[in-house]
Amino acid sequence: MSVPLSSATLHRLAAPFLVLAVVLPLVYFTYPANRTMWHSISIVTAWAGCGLLVASILLMIREPQISHLFGGLENMYLWHHRSGMLAYVLLLCHPLALAASSLPESAQLAWQALSPLGASWQIRPGWIALILLMFGLTSTFIVSLPYRRWRWMHMFLGLGVALGLAHVYAVAGNVYPLMLLIILTVAALGWRLFASDLGAVASSYRVTQVTHPGSDIIEARLVPNATALTIAPGQFVLSSFGEGPHYHGCGEYHPFTVSGIEKDGSISISIKALGPCSQRLQELEPGVMVRLQGPFGTFLQNAASLPQLWVAGGIGITPFIAALRAQPRTLPTTLLYLFGNEKSAAFLDELRMLAKSDPNFELLTHASSKGLPNFPELLGKVSQLAAREVFICGPQPMAEALVPCLLQQKIPEHLMHIEMYDFR
């Protein structure tokens, strides 16, 4: 029996489609005729690798409408990573295949074709590009690397792509697919740098109120200075905080999920001290100007008409409190709220009040200062669990431990929606 593809699924498939749409025509139009096998492999891997790198760069554009088209920023970043990684593997194969094509002639010629030491000026940028990709990707896979250092090292990848394209230009000359790749790369990197990283298209807001709903957590009320962004509960914004009388912003855009949306266009965002920038934000004060980009994210969107189970870990409560504040629940909803201790649990009193006033909303809490809770036992407290759609927001280890338990309870994967804090 065929299942019709939902709109959300089609949007998610748009990202791999973009990757194929860049790579396949590129390989088709540059496919070498009458070459030896290894030489053909060398050329195909080079062009396919370049296409994948460019697709990867296209998929890191942070623009709300584009991210919606591709099924959300998280989905774009997933395919950004996949495309970039596959490009790297193919580009590693390229010089090896080129050397292998010279092996029948002589091993010395093969080494001359590969050697970075005696490489000509046309070949050298290719080698430097490969080393930069290697260096940049190493940073991607070091999970413990602080965000700022990771971001700085990640920029080597962009430089690697530029040098890689320069190498192709030096070797192949002014061929039209290459010009197209260069134009796409410059446009995407330019958009990312000026519009996103420097905030040229960001909306201006100002902080009017700062509260402390939990230890090491602030909630900031942001009022638009001009047009307000249209934001739904579950979405997040990229925020860059400026200067205040006593506060000095770190000048970087960081993602924060909205915890409240008012009819007058003002929003609230909740920030837990997790890194240097969010730690400094604990000192935020009214009057600070904020630049916002977004909204991004599809969490809590396109839900089925089923009873819901929400699982929040720590600051993962923010999308749920935003939804609860927006309107009473129309579907039976149970929130399982996990936290270290009651002092650190943001919005706990407000949630208890909402649970009393909203007959469709049930609150289950669990405090655990050490390790993960016993999920099978906790899930046992949720009535009609198998009939629910599940939304999870919290740290990655929590989500990874919870999903197998939910699968055991016969909840299908397509009814599980997960938002994790691994946004890089």
Q: Contact residues for other proteins (CB under 8 A)? A: 33-36, 39, 43, 81-82, 85, 88-89, 92, 96, 99, 101, 105-115, 118, 120, 122-123, 134, 137-138, 141, 170-175
* Helix, strand counts (H, E) of the chain: 13, 11
Contact status, residue 158 vs residue 189, Cβ threshold 8 Å: yes
Q: Between 140 and 266, whose beta carbon lies closer to other proteins?
A: 140
Q: Which is nearer to other proteins, 89 or 193 (CB)?
A: 89
Residues 27 and 307: their CA atoms lie apart, in Å, by 48
CB 374, min distance to other proteins, A: 30
Looking at the DSSP bridge assignments, the partners of residue 254 are: 239
Q: How far apart are CA 399 and CA 197, in angstroms?
A: 30
- DSSP, collapsed to helix, strand or coil, labels residue 139 as helix
Residue 115: CB minimum distance to other proteins, A: 7
Q: Closest approach of Cβ 141 to other proteins, in Å?
A: 5
Strand order of the sheet with strand 361-367? 361-367, 333-339, 308-313, 389-394, 416-420
Contact yes or no for 130/116 (Cβ under 8 A): no
**Is residue 356 within a helix (H) or strand (E), and if so which, with residue range?**
helix 348-357
Measured from the CB atom, the residue of 167 and 221 that comes closer to other proteins is 167
Residue 155 backbone dihedrals phi, psi, to 5 degrees? -65, -25
The smaller minimum CB distance to other proteins, of residues 171 and 189, is found at 171
Rounded to the nearest whole angstrom, what is the least distance from the CB of residue 133 to other proteins in the complex?
10
302/396 with CB nearer other proteins: 396
CB of 117 to other proteins, least distance (A): 9
Q: How far is the CB of 108 from other proteins (least distance, A)?
A: 5
Q: Which is nearer to other proteins, 113 or 309 (CB)?
A: 113
Q: How does DSSP classify residue 31?
A: P
Which amino acid is residue 423, in one-letter code?
A: F
Instruction: For the CB of residue 126, give the shortest distance to other proteins in the complex, in Å.
Output: 12
Compare residues 120 and 227 and give the one whose CB is closer to other proteins. 120
CB nearer to other proteins: pick between 173 and 371:
173
The residue (of 115 and 211) whose beta carbon lies closer to other proteins is 115
Q: How far apart are CA 357 and CA 9, in angstroms?
A: 36
Please write down the long-range contacts of 375-383, taking CB distance under 8 Å and 24 or more positions apart.
375/401, 375/402, 375/405, 376/405, 376/408, 378/336, 379/336, 379/405, 379/406, 379/409, 382/309, 382/334, 382/336, 383/334
Which residue type occupies 187? A
Which residue, 134, 151, 245, is CA-closest to 196?
Answer: 151
CA distance 390 to 415: 6
Which is nearer to other proteins, 97 or 202 (by Cβ)? Answer: 97
- At closest approach, how far in Å is the CB of 112 from other proteins? 5
CB of 168 to other proteins, least distance (A): 11
CB of 55 to other proteins, least distance (A): 16
Residue among 115, 106, 102 nearest 42 (CA) = 102
Are 219 and 210 in contact, with CB atoms under 8 Å apart? Answer: yes
